Structure 1
């Protein structure tokens, strides 16, 4: 075939990398605890009951559902029942596939949610639609760091509940059917740092590299990270290379401005908890005491990070003498951040325009499936539009490479167990 010697074929555009999402969610199937707790606890451990809704509100960052009695009028949904807790499944737990203007705070049943929310084979199919190769998933019923079990009265049952969840996460959700595409994230008993350390090591021995933790533990009535109370847990994470993953809302207190502020107020400022939390960590000295420790902020976005780093550096430089950090923070907080902290985003064009002030190696991508904020099924298109100004190797690091390194995945982005 003849070619025109005066023309050249432009190089093909590189294909957009297959996404590794570091913040998706699983809705636990009804049998997670029923099938794994000792027989004596099967009627008192977490279980699903179908019942009507009496009333429900979500104001000032507080979710308040009230379950009705059999025969009561009202919409019927599936509820998790555990001790005094009555927690319904809601449309906000699994909103993908619904028009955003039609999403309401309403109770639902398993039959009314997208099957990919709770079933592995359907999740993989929805990941395929969304150009997602693998995903790390936070819990729903236990809440983002296992607060449900921390608040329970029966500590023995609570510990068994956490271990049962972790066994399900590793052996079933991330089991053979997932083919390495689902990455395990485990829980710890937050009420006991020694037990937490033991659970980290138990799961690390089977290949788990991430554990959920609270962004602001004192909001849960727990010690702050400025104390030594968490040191056994932090040492275990340091020794095993286990990432401390903190999701917005993992302090059970979403930011708001008043008791009657609509959810839109809190949704706009959800990143505020991440600001507070990251400042805590940077000024705690823990990231220097435990040099192998890595922390990540799921769903916190990244656009706020440059100013917090700038301000923290100024305070450290000018005020460390009286600010209580001179003896434990030995270098600028921005340098500590670069070695230890990862910001996660799914829709943050501003942050990407200021990537140089954050650090290419400190940013991870997510899709937030199946929540109402999720970019599913257009996560690739959103990412391509927001990252169009970035070099292909930078896009590769954000979308895949950083997650592979942080979570110890195979070069293909899979969990090897």
Structure 2
């Protein structure tokens, strides 16, 4: 299929900048030194004792073998017990069947963790290529950042990146999987080294937290992240921030149902974008690009309008006059990308956002995913746009941002196996 081959010849093949992988059980067990196999990430099958998800907090409790309770596959790492759940991989189930419950690998769609099956599911969904965020490490590697043994945590980050490049995005994927690397968030110098290690093998995106202080880390207003940002600036590596990458989903109270947080998931992206626009980092690192996965785009025009007003009228006492020398909306245009999978309002206001600052996604295999109808959703919501605008949103902007080939593939796939340094 060419990039424009569709049933009616009008809708381009999708490049999704936000899908997810469920890591196979052997990712770390096959890559860590032998001395760490008993403490590094591994899968066990065990019952669930109890589980809740309220106020944006996920709290599962694993039962002992032989106890009553639903059986699921659990990731065990140091003292962490984290089950696979239906929310990790919900495609193929009706909305009414998608509940907060533990599952095993056999109870999920194989495309969640198996490359050939993923490619088949992408074909069904009119998707050519996809960039995937992690599951067990969490969206920017918080699992390893919170670990006690930092030596092991660094090895886990590197092992994940090696698996991502060599297997998930390796020759079997034919360039249709786009690698996203993790970094050791606890050390900016180590993070910079990992960015450069992966950039040397063609990786052009790295996961980061939308609001680092929520993880106990420095904010982007400090100089602490400068070694990491310099590495991204030098290598053309995009800083990719997924909703929830601060380990704190927006909510209003400890007892608010998940529907409250699900409605306002964009809020963290909104706060984060204002942080970046007012930080001065885009002035200091002119090649730096950031993207917000699953943040949607409809909220962006007002925030840009408000940020420009504040910068124009209040920058002297607002603490940004000496570091932000251009209107925030101008900085946004050159450095920030919003990502969406279902945002008709944002598309009706595209002129106030910028055609070049919008990327498309499908969120496979999560419950919000538009799979297997991402093409139909896109056609419905983009029907008022010119074909060249649709092409840019659905694939062209991603090709430019992520350094893909002209036909939308990751160029490093053929040489990926054994490329780790």
**Same-fold call, TM cutoff 0.5:** yes
Aligned to 1:8: none
- Where does residue 225 of structure 1 map in the other structure? 220
Match of 2:327 in 1: 332
Match for residue 272 of structure 1? 267
2:417 corresponding residue in structure 1: none
Aligned-partner Cα distance in 2 for 1:348–1:15? 20
Larger Rg: 1
Mapped to 2, the partners of 1:206 and 1:36 lie a distance apart of: 19
Match for residue 82 of structure 1? 77
| 8 Å CA contact retained: 2:10, 2:387 | no
Partner of 2:10: 15
Q: Report the Cα offset of residue 101 of structure 1.
A: 1.3
Number of the residue aligned with 2:315: 320
- Shift of the alpha carbon at 1:283? 0.1
- Secondary structure of 1:284's aligned partner: coil
Q: Establish whether residue 199 from structure 1 lines up as the match of residue 194 from structure 2.
A: yes
The number of equivalent residue pairs is 406
Quote the residue 1:29 is aligned against. Answer: 24
1:38, 1:287 → 2: CA distance? Answer: 40
Distance, in Å, in 1 between the alignment partners of 2:376 and 2:243 is 25
1:311 equivalent in structure 2: 306
The answer to whether the Cα contact below 8 Å between 2:145 and 2:184 also exists between their aligned partners in 1 is yes
1:55 equivalent in alignment to 2:36: no
- Counterpart residue number, 1:186: 181
1:110-125 correspondence runs (5 A): 110-125=105-120
Q: Which residue in 2 is equivalent to 1:139? A: 134
Give the aligned partner of residue 419 of structure 2.
none
Q: Is the 8 A contact 2:339 2:360 kept in 1?
A: yes
Secondary structure, in 3 states, of the residue corresponding to 1:225? coil
The answer to whether the Cα contact below 8 Å between 2:191 and 2:228 also exists between their aligned partners in 1 is yes
Alpha-carbon separation, structure 1, partners of 2:288 and 2:96: 41
Indicate conservation of the 8 Å contact 1:77/1:88, yes or no.
yes
Please give the root-mean-square deviation of Cα atoms over the aligned residues, in Å: 0.7
CA distance in 2 between counterparts of 1:42 and 1:177 reads 27
Pick from 195, 215, 224 the counterpart of residue 210 of structure 2.
Answer: 215
Which of 405, 409, 421 is the aligned partner of 1:410? Answer: 405
Q: Does residue 393 of structure 2 align to residue 398 of structure 1?
A: yes
Give how far 1:15 is off: 2.4
C-alpha distance in 1 between matches for 2:323 and 2:104: 51
Structure 2 unmatched ranges of 5 or more: 1-6, 413-421
Moved over 6 A (4+): none
- Per the TM alignment, residue 313 of structure 1 is displaced from its structure 2 partner at its CA by 0.1
TM (norm. structure 1) is 0.97
Please give the TM-score of this superposition, normalised by the length of structure 2.
0.96
